[in-house]
Structure 1
Amino acid sequence: MSMELGIFVERDGLPAVRLERPFPVGTEQVWRALTESDLLAAWFPSPTVRMEQRVGGHVEFAGDPYADDGTGTVLEFDPPSRLAYTWSEDELLFELGPRGEGCLLALTDVLEERGAAARNAAGWDVCLDELEKLLTGGTPSGPHSGSASDWRARYDAYVAAGMPSGAPIPEGGDPG
């Protein structure tokens, strides 16, 4: 699993974190993992995601032990290269492109608050590790499982690297 840290950026003047992850599979396979409910269940923070696959479509999220169930709106839908939607108060942008024989996924989480950067980046690292398991024939058990990567270690690495922090950590201290 990758331990290369994501970066803090601004997108349209708003705080954001950006993570990039190469996968040894094609963009179509990664796209399916980003858009199909049964595949999202293996790696996304909310294990139940239903998406109307069109701009303006609704996205329903449920089952995340650290967040309320909710809905979002699809902002971009350009298979198999760009997908964006709102998620709670954040906006998620997934960009896919070829990289060698595989695919490079760039995930940008536009944040409600700057202090959420380290917390969210660490959480996305854990999620992307589970996505990697899914795409490479491993056995993902979800980002909230006992076999997922160590969220706290990732969080501590982001804080040590100077990524903005200070947002509340959910009860239990491990929202990864």
Structure 2
Amino acid sequence: MSDMTSLNKYGAVAEPFAFSIQRRLPGPIERIWAYLTDSDLRRQWLASGIIPAQAGSSFELTWRNDELAGSADGRPEGFPAEHSIQSEVIAFEPPHRLVFSWPPRGEVSFELQPAGSEILLTVTHRRISDRRNMVMVGAGWHMHLDILVARATGAKPEPFWEGWSRLKEEYDRRIPA
């Protein structure tokens, strides 16, 4: 196995106000596509919500990170137990590319590419408002993807809030001022 178990691979600033991060996951590609598009599978690592298979369609994503953590322990002040956003599908190209809006003006893309017996997942979050949010978004995507890797490989994920808090400090050091 290559670096599928490398859960500490950091994302980076891809372009001004854009963050990109990659993970290798066990195939086949259709299995990983399902983790992106099936609400029940996506809820296990990110957020629930039925994503329509057509560009221009609206949908809602709902995060319940306490469930990913196993409890509300360590949830930072100001973070609700549940948070939802209204989004719109920009591109839906099974099983390789999913892009949707991230209100108020951002966008998130997921790209899947075969890499031998593994699948390379690249997540890029564009038009992040400022450095403070880039630090939080970086820690969030990193932690959510670590949980996805754990789910896809049958490992036990680290509690969400504990990992996110640790990663937020690390991204604060890594992302340029």
Relative to the length of structure 2, the TM-score reads 0.78
1:70 shift after superposition: 2.6
8 Å Cα contact 1:55-1:77 kept in structure 2: yes
Which residue of 92, 101, 110 corresponds with 1:77?
Answer: 92
8 Å Cα contact 1:6-1:17 kept in structure 2: yes
Q: For residue 21 of structure 1, what is the amino acid of its counterpart?
A: R
Q: Secondary structure at the match of 2:148?
A: helix
1:152 shift after superposition: 1.8
1:59 shift after superposition: 1.9
Which residue of 2, 7, 12 corresponds with 1:7?
Answer: 12
Q: For residue 4 of structure 1, what is the amino acid of its counterpart?
A: K
1:17 shift after superposition: 0.3
Structure 1 segments, 4+ long, off by >6 Å, are: none
CA RMSD between the two structures: 2.1
8 Å Cα contact 2:13-2:19 kept in structure 1: yes
1:66 shift after superposition: 6.5
Q: Which has the higher helix share?
A: 2
1:164 shift after superposition: 4.7
- Listed one character per residue, the Cα deviations across residues 89-129 of structure 1 (whole Å, up to 9, x for unaligned) are 22110000011211000000113313211110111111001
Which ranges in structure 1 are unaligned for 5 or more consecutive residues? Answer: 141-145, 166-176
Task: Quote the Cα distance in structure 1 between the aligned partners of 2:13 and 2:34.
Answer: 27
> Which runs of structure 2 are paired with 1:1-176 in the superposition (5 Å)?
2-10=7-15, 15-44=17-46, 46=47, 48-64=48-64, 65=80, 68-89=83-104, 90-115=106-131, 116-138=133-155, 147-148=159-160, 150-161=163-174, 163-164=175-176
Task: Quote the Cα distance in structure 2 between the aligned partners of 1:128 and 1:32.
Answer: 15
Q: Could you tell me which residue of structure 2 aligns to residue 168 of structure 1?
A: none
- Percent of aligned pairs with the same residue? 29
8 Å Cα contact 2:128-2:134 kept in structure 1: no
